[in-house]
């Protein structure tokens, strides 16, 4: 029996076969969506560039060569050079590491926090639910960029503050989603059965409810990543994100702004990088939603 037939079998012989089969079916339906595949390709490319930046044959992202400043794109510098003669291609590649770091760090903070608040709020209910949801509303009501601005200003501009500020403003939707899912699951028969068997609330939450929230949370997360990238770039552009000489894309646009009229590439190319990467995440998220959460697309 071929692997494909085994995976697509209507009568899986084991739990593992059933779950792998489900993954495979999802993959097949994902693969049929060219836009989603494009998104996946962009994201994979971003990750590869970010990981491989140190060993790729690139010039140093920080070495200055004032004799070569503001060179237009050429064979030696595919994307030209900036105001200090640094190779823009290399800075874009190294900047991918910063972008990816921000995205991953924000997600690592936000998803567990949102899941925790949402599932506990939905499962326990009562006054705790009201309090937690009120807090969520307050954070949700705060305009994202403005809160991040005030927060970054209050500590000090930099990569870490930017990450914390974005995380602080990004978790409420996850709590909302997790709570909504929990409310529908709380009265489900299998949860009641687990409760009758004497499972503790913690065990029910962790083993039964959290896994079922994952699909919606993953979809939301992928769609959110573009927003995170854009906010981070916005903070960088305003001079409140990663600080020079770090090759952060938003900060690169901000310095390129002074040369926009005569040396368009300095500002335009990092902007294109941000756009392509955000679009990649959005296409991927859109495709994932079609596969994992068909009722909402």
Partner 1 sequence: MVLNGGRGGGHHRLLVSGVAYELLRFAAMLALTLLGLIFITFLIGRVVPIDPVLAVVGDRASAETYARVREELGIDLPIHQQFWLYLGKVVQGDFGTSVITSQTVLHDLRQYFPATLELATAATLIGVLAGVPMGVIAATHRGRWIDHVTRIVGLVGYSMPVFWMGMVGLLVLYSWLDLVSGPGRLDIAYDGLVEPVTGLLTVDSALSGDWDVFRNALSHLVLPAGLLGYLTLAYISRMTRSFMLGQLNQEYILTARAKGVPERRVVWRHALGNIMVPLITVIALSYASLLEGAVLTETVFAWPGLGLYITRSLFNADMNAVLGGTLLIGAIFVCLNVFCDMLYRLLDPRART
Judged by CB under 8 A, which of 239, 243, 259, 293 binds partner 1?
A: 239
Cβ distance to partner 1 smaller for residue 116 or 230? 230
Judged by CB under 8 A, which of 174, 237, 241, 291 binds partner 1?
A: 237
Candidates 44-52, 80-88, 105-113, 141-149: pick the segment binding partner 1 (CB under 8 A): 141-149
Cα–Cα distances in angstroms (integers) from residue 252 to residues 52, 63, 214, in the given order: 21, 15, 36
Asked if residue 142 binds partner 1 (CB under 8 A), the reply is: yes
* Region of residue 80 (phi > 0: left; psi between -120 and 50: alpha; otherwise: beta): left
Judged by CB under 8 A, which of 283, 288, 291, 292 binds partner 1?
A: 283
Judged by CB under 8 A, which of 8, 47, 52, 146 binds partner 1?
A: 146
Asked if residue 130 binds partner 1 (CB under 8 A), the reply is: yes
DSSP string, the chain: --HHHHHH-SS-SSHHHHHHHHHHHHHHHHHT-HHHHHHHHHHHHHHHHHHHTTTSS---SS---GGGTTPPS-SSSTT-B-TTS-BHHHHHHHHHHHHHHHHHHHHHHHHHHHHHHHHHHHHH-HHHHHHHHHHHHHHHHS-HHHHHHHHHHHS-SSHHHHHHHHHHHHSHHHHHHHHHHHHHHHT-HHHHHHHHTT--HHHIIIIIIHHHHHHHHHHHHHHHHHHHHHHHHHHHHTT-SSPTTS--HHHHHHHHGGGTTT-THHHHHHHHHHHHHHHHHHHHHHHHHHHH-GGG-
CB of 86 to partner 1, least distance (A): 19
Asked if residue 83 binds partner 1 (CB under 8 A), the reply is: no
Judged by CB under 8 A, which of 8, 56, 76, 260 binds partner 1?
A: 260
Asked if residue 174 binds partner 1 (CB under 8 A), the reply is: no
CB of 275 to partner 1, least distance (A): 6
Asked if residue 190 binds partner 1 (CB under 8 A), the reply is: no
CB burial of residue 83 (10 Å; 0-12, 13-18, 19+)? middle
Cβ distance to partner 1 smaller for residue 7 or 222? 222
CB of 24 to partner 1, least distance (A): 25
* Letter string b/e over residues 16-45, b meaning 16 or more CB atoms within 10 A of that residue's CB: eeeeebeeeeeeeebeebeebeebbebbee
Cβ distance to partner 1 smaller for residue 15 or 296? 296
Cβ distance to partner 1 smaller for residue 61 or 172? 172
Asked if residue 218 binds partner 1 (CB under 8 A), the reply is: no
Cβ distance to partner 1 smaller for residue 85 or 239? 239
**For partner 1, how many residues bind (rule: CB under 8 A)?**
52
Cβ distance to partner 1 smaller for residue 90 or 263? 263
CB of 237 to partner 1, least distance (A): 5
Residues near partner 1, by CB under 8 A: 35, 129-130, 133-135, 137-138, 140-147, 149-151, 153-156, 226-227, 230, 233-234, 237-240, 250, 253, 257, 260-261, 264, 267-268, 270-271, 274-275, 278-279, 281-283, 286, 296-297
């Amino acid at each position: 029996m071929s692997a494909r037939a085994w995976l697509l079998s209507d009568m899986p012989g084991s739990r593992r076969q059933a779950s792998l089969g489900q993954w495979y079916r999802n993959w097949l339906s994902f693969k049929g969506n060219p836009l989603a595949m494009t998104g996946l390709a962009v994201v994979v490319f971003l990750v590869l560039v970010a990981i491989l930046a140190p060993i790729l044959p690139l010039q140093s992202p920080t070495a200055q060569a004032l004799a070569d400043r503001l060179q237009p794109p050429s064979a030696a510098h595919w994307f030209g050079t900036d105001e200090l003669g640094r190779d823009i291609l290399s800075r874009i590649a190294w900047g991918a590491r910063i972008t990816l770091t921000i995205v991953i760090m924000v997600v690592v903070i936000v998803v567990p926090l949102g899941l925790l608040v949402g599932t506990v709020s939905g499962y326990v209910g009562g006054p705790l639910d009201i309090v937690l949801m009120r807090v969520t509303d307050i954070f949700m009501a705060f305009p994202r960029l403005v809160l991040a601005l005030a927060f970054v200003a209050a500590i000090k501009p930099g990569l870490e503050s930017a990450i914390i500020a974005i995380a602080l403003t990004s978790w409420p939707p996850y709590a909302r989603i997790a709570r909504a899912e929990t409310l529908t699951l709380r009265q489900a028969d299998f949860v009641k059965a687990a409760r009758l068997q004497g499972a503790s609330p913690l065990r029910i939450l962790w083993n039964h409810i959290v896994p079922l929230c994952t699909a919606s949370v993953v979809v939301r997360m992928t769609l959110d990543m573009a927003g995170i990238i854009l906010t981070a770039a916005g903070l960088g552009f305003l001079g409140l994100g990663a600080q020079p000489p770090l090759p952060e894309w938003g900060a690169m646009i901000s310095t390129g702004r002074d040369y926009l009229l005569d040396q368009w590439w300095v500002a335009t190319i990092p902007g294109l990088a941000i756009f392509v990467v955000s679009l990649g995440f959005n296409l991927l998220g859109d495709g994932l939603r079609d596969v994992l959460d068909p009722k909402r697309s």
